[in-house]
Amino acid sequence: MLWGMIMSKIIVREDEGEKLDVELERSVTERNKMLADENRRILDSYKVRAIDVMGATGSGKTTLILQICRRLKDRYRIAVIKGDLTSSIDSDMIMREGVDSVQVNTGRECHLDASQIRRALEKLDLSNLELIFIENVGNLICPAEFPLGSHKRVVVISVTEGPYTVVKHPFMFMDADVVVVNKMDLSEAMRVDPDKLVQDIRRVNPRAHIVKAICRDGMGIDEVIRALDL
């Protein structure tokens, strides 16, 4: 009988929480959406395009942004807004590339929100910019719920995250314009079938542009640039 108890599947459903929590959460996301719309109006008034890059820690977000900046920094005036809990490793790397970077330390928050982006925009000379990359905190869950006002959303996943990244985090992919399947060179070692990941992405978001890439080596970068209309 003990076995039966151990093996039985216990599920805590999302809707078991108090209604109060749900309403609080709704007001937070609604307020964020308003601020995101305002960010978009500010960006548009300066004719600055913003691209939000999301994905787990270690998936390759910074490497992707660096590779794109290398190819585009003579064509566009670019800045990078970089969200991290506490570190500035990524923004230091980006500055070494000769691209301006604003670091947003989110403290304990596991995602960037639109108000933080607003404050970052205030620190940038928007009249002197054409393109902004926003690197979100490494996280495949809540950034999906917090639009920032960007024009395009990119999600980076790596085959090293295993075969279930997409099926376990479907919401992250629904609004993505471009999904990068990174570290293709490691797929065999990881025994992860990248085509299965592509199928999973297609299922939740048929309109996303999917690019197989090895960001560190530059493979797929030009395709990402084209997919972003840059």
Which residues of this chain interact with Zn ion, rule CB under 5 A?
Answer: 110-111, 142
Stretch of residues binding Mg ion (CB under 5 A), selected from 53-61, 141-149, 169-177, 188-196: 53-61
Q: Which two tokens stand for residue 77?
A: 């005036």
Task: Give 109-143 as a DSSP string.
Answer: -SS--HHHHHHHHHTS-GGG-SEEEEE--SBSSGG
Does residue 161 bind Mg ion (CB under 5 A)?
no
Residue 83 near residue 112, CB atoms below 8 Å = yes
Beta carbon nearer to Mg ion, 30 or 92: 92
35, 53, 59, 61: residue in contact with Mg ion (rule CB under 5 A):
61
Does residue 52 bind Mg ion (CB under 5 A)?
no
Beta carbon nearer to Mg ion, 35 or 102: 102
| Residue 183, contacted partner among Mg ion, Zn ion, none, CB below 5-8 A by kind | none
| Residue 111, contacted partner among Mg ion, Zn ion, none, CB below 5-8 A by kind | Zn ion
Beta carbon nearer to Zn ion, 81 or 142: 142
| Residue 90, contacted partner among Mg ion, Zn ion, none, CB below 5-8 A by kind | Mg ion
Beta carbon nearer to Mg ion, 43 or 137: 137
Contacts of 100 (CB under 8 A, 6+ apart): 78, 79, 80, 124
Binding to Mg ion (CB under 5 A) within 64-123 occurs at 90
Does residue 62 bind Mg ion (CB under 5 A)?
yes
Q: Least distance (Å) from Zn ion to the CB of residue 133?
A: 20
Beta carbon nearer to Zn ion, 49 or 169: 169
Q: Least distance (Å) from Zn ion to the CB of residue 28?
A: 11
Stretch of residues binding Mg ion (CB under 5 A), selected from 55-63, 97-105, 171-179, 204-212: 55-63
Helices 114-122 and 19-45, packing angle to 10 deg: 30
CA distances to 11, 18, 22, 27, 188 from 15, rounded to whole Å, are 11, 8, 9, 17, 40
Task: Report how far residue 124's alpha carbon sits from residue 121's, in angstroms, rounded to the nearest whole number.
Answer: 5
Task: Report how far residue 133's alpha carbon sits from residue 53's, in angstroms, rounded to the nearest whole number.
Answer: 7
Residue 58 near residue 64, CB atoms below 8 Å = no
Alpha helices, H only, the chain: 2-7, 19-45, 61-72, 89-96, 114-122, 165-168, 170-174, 187-190, 194-204, 221-227
Beta carbon nearer to Mg ion, 62 or 182: 62
Q: List residues binding Mg ion (CB under 5 A).
A: 61-62, 90
